Copies of this chain bind each other. A is one copy, B any other.
Amino acid sequence: MEQKRILLGHGSGGKLSHDLIDSLFASYFDNEILRQQSDSAVFALDTKHMAFTTDSFVVDPIFFPGGNIGNLAVAGTVNDLAVSGSIPKYLSCGFIIEEGFSMDELEVIVQTMAEEAEKAGIFIVTGDTKVVDKGKCDKLFINTSGVGEIPSGRIDIGSGSQIEVGDKLLINGGIGEHGMAIMSARNDLNISSPVESDCACLNGLIGDVLSVSNRIHFMRDATRGGLGTVVAELVKGRDFGIQIDENKLVQDEGVRGMCELLGFDPLYVANEGKVLMVVGKEDAPKVLQKMQQHPHGEKAAIIGEITETKAGMAWLNTVIGGNRIIEMLSGQQLPRIC
């Protein structure tokens, strides 16, 4: 039986586009707002302040251990909204599809997005589909943008303006899992590894933590560029330093093995379900406990602190007793990781 494939006409805005929207997107993403099917989604927010973010996903390959480009696209934007202190509410979704792409694979991806959105309690309310001629894009790219409601009192979390010397750094589990899962899935490497992507929506875990502490001074999800890039960015030009203890960093055995084999520094390998939090030191123990009670935070750990010394610098206290500066990467460690 011949496989159904995406045609240029599916991106025309005409009848084939409508059929694709009705049979696939509208059916899997179904909700009251999407059902309006007008040029824009129209809805009311319950807060005055809102967060708004966008991310395009070009991951290669589009299917990998632990997920596919679909749940990655949902989780990536949900997490960007959540770390800004907002409650993620609504997502848009823009597909750029290569002519000839398998309709079955597209359906699996759309279904995964719908499931991830449902788990996260958010709605995909508006979308767009473009099809480009064969060879003019690599299978499928997805953009998701999102809006979230920011309760008063959380407006400054994203800026890190409340960070104080002595604050503790927490992360909700092991690093480098997404990056190494993608590497293991690339066709040109013949690696069989049990590493799975950590790809997950963290708004539940973050909401739990915010319910027990009002001393969350900063949050960021450590995606492209890994934990190293997040701390290097955070400390740049600031009047404090950041110290990370290497022996506190959790690392899956498979991730450690692959990083050693391939020569990657796990500090810079991408995660898609890890959030770094800077927490007032009095609250660090209870925040840690709350994280560990959540399925996405069982291996949470306190990994370092904000220091008065070495302002503007982040460094790693290594397991062998030395220390090394954590700088921003100047090149690309792993292209098309997300």
A: residues with CB less than 8 A from B are 7-9, 11-16, 18, 36, 38-45, 48-58, 60, 80-81, 83-84, 86, 90, 92-96, 125-128, 130-133, 135-138, 141, 143, 145-148, 150, 155, 158-159, 220-221, 223-225, 229, 233, 268, 328-333, 335-336
Contact = CB atoms under 8 A, between A and B. Distances in A.
Given A40-B148, A332-B7, A58 B125 contact: no
Contacts of A18: 233, 328
Nearest to A33: B52
Contacts of A16: 330-332
Contacts of A49: 42-44
Contacts of A39: 53, 80-81, 83-84, 158, 220-221
A92 B40 contact: no
B159 A36 contact: yes
B158 A54 contact: no
A18 to B, nearest CB: 7
Nearest to A39: B80
A133 B56 contact: no
A213 B251 CA distance: 64
Given A84-B40, A96-B58, A133 B333 contact: no
Given A58-B130, A127-B54, A155-B42, A224 B12 contact: yes
Given A36-B159, A92-B54, A92-B145, A330 B225 contact: no
Contact of A15 (B12, B15, B329): B329
Contacts of A133: 335-336
Contacts of A135: 135
The count of identical subunits is 2
A42 B84 contact: yes
Contacts of A229: 13-14
A332 B132 CA distance: 11
Contacts of A233: 18
Given A39-B81, A40-B53, 8 more contacts: A16-B332, A40-B84, A43-B49, A45-B48, A54-B127, A92-B145, A130-B141, A130-B336
A238 to B, nearest CB: 13
A39 B7 CA distance: 35
A241 B332 CA distance: 57
Nearest to A90: B52
Contact of A36 (B94, B158, B331, B332): B158
Nearest to A150: B42
A205 to B, nearest CB: 16
B147 A147 contact: yes
A147 B41 CA distance: 9
Nearest to A136: B138
A255 B286 CA distance: 68
A38 B96 contact: no
B12 A54 contact: no
Contacts of A13: 223-225, 229
Contacts of A329: 12, 14-15
Contacts of A128: 54-56
Contacts of A141: 96, 130, 137, 141
Contacts of A52: 40-43, 90, 92, 125-126, 147
